[in-house]
A and B are shown apart, each in its own frame.
Chain A
Amino acid sequence: MIVVDIIVAGLILGGLYATVALGLTLQYGVARIMNLAYGEFIVAAAFGAWWLFTANAISPLAGLVVIVPLAFLANWLIYHLLLMPLVRRARSREVLEGDSILFTFGLLFVMQGVMLSLFGGQLYSYSYLLVPIDVIGTTVSANRLIAFAFAIVIGLGLYLVLTRTRAGTAMRAVAVDPRSARLVGIDVPRMSALAFALGGALCAAAGVLISMFLTFSASGGVLFTMKALIVVIMGGVGSLLGTLVAGLLLGLAEVATARLIDPGLTLAVNFAIFLAVLLVRPTGLFGRPSS
């Protein structure tokens, strides 16, 4: 049942990629902060989950309840205290994007340094729910399956927030056109701060979920930033659906390549798909053409 193997494993890996990228979609798509320290936030959350689990015997799923709100608060503060001056002086989105890249590039090293001094350079990992589970004839580990289920819940929750609530609609308006959003009475800076903080909370949730089955270290954040960037850009900046589709597509392609051709070609295939999408649709799968 090679096909079932590939589809199940591909969806689960793709779901993981999409989860990792969701937060960046909000931060970049709405708040226009190209957060290069994104992976460091993921790793920080993973450390949080690790600490709760190994030192306090709190399961990572329960840890979400603590870590996610904390991350929301921390990101909200970061936006208000550190990013606001950049937002105020930026004359256009492009300027803000450039400034935020420089700022978060610095933030990356600060966070990495703090984590290195706290945890050292070792690899961290713990085993939680490492139990084989049979899914329509193929075996999947319980921790990945649960992470996938949580990712679906989180993604769905975010979709509902964005489409069914006033704040969500306002955020989408800011993503599409901040100037016009202002004209209809939307408090753009407030919405941007909210989107950045919400993105940070999602990022932390992803960090907690992947810590259940991936090895991480204080200096390993860049890898997550890269994956998230590819998914976000391929899906179309600011598009939730795009992030989801791009994540799943990459996951399926990676698993199929590993199984049918050679695991050595997974990276090549991933980047080939990325390039092909950008050649055909420069703004990504679901991106709006810039005016």
Chain B
Amino acid sequence: MKKSSSSFSGGWKSLIVFTVLLLAWLCGFASRLFAVIRFESIIHEFDPWFNYRATAYMVEHGFYNFLNWFDERAWYPLGRIVGGTVYPGLMITSGSIHYVLHLLNIPIHIRDICVFLAPIFSGLTAISTYLLTKELWNTGAGLFAACFIAIVPGYISRSVAGSYDNEGIAIFALQFTYYLWVKSVKTGSVFWASLTALSYFYMVSAWGGYVFIINLIPLHVCTLLLMGRYSNRLFTSYTVFCILGLLFSMQIPFVGFQPIRTSEHMAALGAFILILVIGGLKHMQSILSKAEFKYFFIVTSLVAAGTVFFGVVVLTYAGVIAPWSGRFYSLWDTGYAKIHIPIIASVSEHQPTTWFSFFFDLHILVTTFPVGLWYCIKNVNDERVFVVLYALSAVYFAGVMVRLMLTLTPVVCILSGIAFSRLLEIFLKDEETPSNGDSDSEQETSPSRTLYDKAGKLRKMKHEQIKETEGLGANVRSFIIVGVLAMLLMFAVHCTWVTSNAYSSPSIVLSTYSQDGSRQILDDFREAYYWLSQNTDSDARVMSWWDYGYQIAGMANRTTLVDNNTWNNSHIALVGKAMSSTEPKAYEIMKSLDVDYVLVIFGGVIGYSGDDINKFLWMVRIAEGEHPKDIRESDYFTDKGEFRVDAEGSPVLLNCLMYKLSYYRFGELQLDFRSPAGYDRTRNVVIGNKDFDLTYLEEAYTTEHWLVRVYRVKKEDEFNRPRIPVSKRKIRPSDVFISKKTSRRKKGLIKNRPVVVKGKRPVKS
């Protein structure tokens, strides 16, 4: 490449950029396919099943019917207005891909589009990360960042094939919006600012995380103002973006009027007013004299600040602006959710992040990204302020919630890209002989190429005094380069390993390896769901814990009481209460909710730890939140405060519905010869209450490995009726007499009137 004459360098450069980005896309796509290769092309986990179901509905019934869709199969008896409570970006994206392909007569099933959507979008994310980093630093750093984001586990965890969730496309939208924003701040053009708003619109339609953008950009603007970096470019781009973005975001039915009513969005409007005021002041400054301006400035700023502050406070108290939502509070106070909203705390991905998972998800990048951050701070300009703010806020949020690791990952990739690019720039720069340069790292440092190769040749003229002690020796340099490359190699290995081991399980199909190395597939979930879909009434109502709501709706196509869209806490609490009450009490609740089947997940036979008994305390807690008189968490613990299911467990626990449904007839089952009957492999104890029968329910189906157990709720005439006290057993004749006479027929009637057989008079002979 170096030998090429300079007129070709532009072509070579774009070829290399194109090739690297293409390879990054391919690598990213390929490394997300572990689940498809090991299992099959299938939708994973919980939320994706809802997204898939909604997409399939949209493809079948059309977009407008989808927006008006009232799903009576969820949240029985309430139902759910799906069109108005969903971010439709994901469905629209895959729906339009499906539409275009079918226009071209390519009959790909919508499921396959859904499965492969996230891996395809990861390529787009890599490209937009490249563009963003290129704007922030240079092409080399951009290519590094693109390669990093393509394989970094923190992002792969949300975008493997089959993980059909909002985040899959939202990270692309996020990065692209940021790229366009940086571009518009750089150019100050209305065109780029409008594109930013459009991209923001896509982000709003795709994920609730758009709040991050609408707070980060105003933060950037305010910081630039504080730093005295006000410019007309900033003014143009922010005002255009803010207004267009506001209007666009309100077009999404689920968002509606939130952008002007909730506190989460107020920062954008505040920054908008601020930049207008400052713009106005700058203008006045150019007209007024210095003394006049000073007076004017003080008065205006005081009045403006006061008005805005009181305005917001008054509107908040008046209820026009909603206060911060609970999920948002839990971002500031990590203990908030645990106390106030157990349902948020019960989700494992809402837990604070551990140090371990930072390294697990980011590996070497977690150590190099501060370097990039330092470079950005050192060589600060308008757009680097942005990336610094992005990094700092994302680090904070990622520390609060595991789930928000996702927003940190892209910025870590960007900054690490900058760090590695700088590093290689320094250590590859003073290369003496151009031929032994590392072809690997060369492409990344390509922008600095012209700086050293020609000058190097010129300097050859000084051969009388070469080997001056300038910079590092060739040995040290190559040592470091090899070290860096080795680190990158380890990073790639780690990423592949994590992806393959931790993030590529569909979680509805489990697999185990037996001792001879053969693989066994435990397909119990689908077994049970398919049984439900084939062998129950199509309007049967299935009660289960909310985790399985989407899967039941998606795979079994049956009505559920609660699901993963946890919008109604009291309904969930009612289900929790039924699960944690005794059988007769639970029957009352189930009867009032018209439950036909109850589904529980039980891992005791195969040692599956994510089963309902292990989640049970959350059910109790959520139920207690709504029904503190009936359910008390302390009842379910032993005196020592332990949660145990063996003989020493608390009697309330051993007699509640969840326990009974999980362990029905398990006490008779002896798993192997070494362990006694009723030995629970998940909790490694022999269960406490073995011999019991069910009165109000009967086993309808249990899967092969007992993982899913479905019970039918008996109708009232099917079980032994409750004992009626003797005094009430006598049937009293009703004393209300109803005459059967009508106006036309006044004749009396005799009950059981004897039939008169009329004889014949004997004929006289």
Genuine A/B complex: no
B interface, CB within 8 angstroms of A: none
A interface, CB within 8 angstroms of B: none
